[in-house]
Structure 1
Amino acid sequence: MTIRFPKAGVGALLALALALAGCANNAYLASKSYTASGGQMESDIATANSNLATAQQTNVQLKQDVALRNEAIERDARRINTLNGDLNAQDAQLKRALQAKKVSQSRHAELKRQLDSIRQETQNADLENQRAKMAKTPDPKADAAKEAHLRDLEKRKKDLDTALKALTAN
């Protein structure tokens, strides 16, 4: 048994076969030129390696930044703890001065208000520090404000300490 194809069908099949062979040949040639020495693949690999090196450098820098930030937050926490301890000592000193009648009731109340104000602001600074620790991204403006606030609190605590020493020296 022989199969007969119409003449138009054989031509169409032949054209289709030639077209498919041409596509396969084009894909082969494109692949060959991509992978050939000095071809596009080497350029793509070089670009990818360059991007990787840049990303690794950025990652190292980010890790260093995080470590410095955590160190600053811990340093601020120590400063706040020191302030709290000093305020507790000043409170006890003020109480002893009142009991020893080295300070008048009105002056005691004034100094106690100052001490309580510093203590309240120190608690606020501690909350700011805890928020900074939990923040996903640093806020340089908030960090600078927190630093200025801590310096102000330390100065006010020192001024209060000077006033208390003057009272107990009498």
Structure 2
Amino acid sequence: MTVLNELNPTNDQIKTWAYDENILLVDQDEEVILESTDFLNVLIDLTFDKNCPKRDYCISIIKSLIYSKLVRRDIEELKKINKSINSLNQNFKQKWLEELKEKFNEKFEIITKPNSLDYWKCREIAFDLNIGSYGIKGIDEKRTFENGVIEFKAAHSLFDQFFLY
């Protein structure tokens, strides 16, 4: 196993890493390094090649990146994601990416143009924003505040996470 010990990889290094199962960027938590809008386009490009050994891993990193930015409502990063995923060549479609794009666009619209949502829409959003390889166990309403904000609790195999809507 080769470890590059690269905390700020170039696109070429990422491509080399993706096509070689015996290369690691760092010896642990390499997805944290790749979970950046700076690498979104190269990761998406890698997913178009069904022969890429780390294709599924790239998909997982992309989903984690997008949902973590949505949860944090990081507007500047969300604008970069919006530009990247909505400028993809329409001739090359992948079902998972089209579904992710649709969900992202819906949540991006809600964040950038807030409006009232019904209970079931809030529950759907809370569920969607709790995606990951750890696998969701359930989503429950924790409490409703006087101002109508609902707190949801998502139970995961390893931890619980709370979201306010």
- Of Structure 1 and Structure 2, the greater helix share is in 1
Q: TM-score by structure 1 length?
A: 0.24
- Of Structure 1 and Structure 2, the greater strand share is in 2
Which structure has the larger Rg over C-alpha atoms? Answer: 1
Which gives a bigger RCO, structure 1 or 2 (Cα 8 Å, sep 6+)?
A: 1
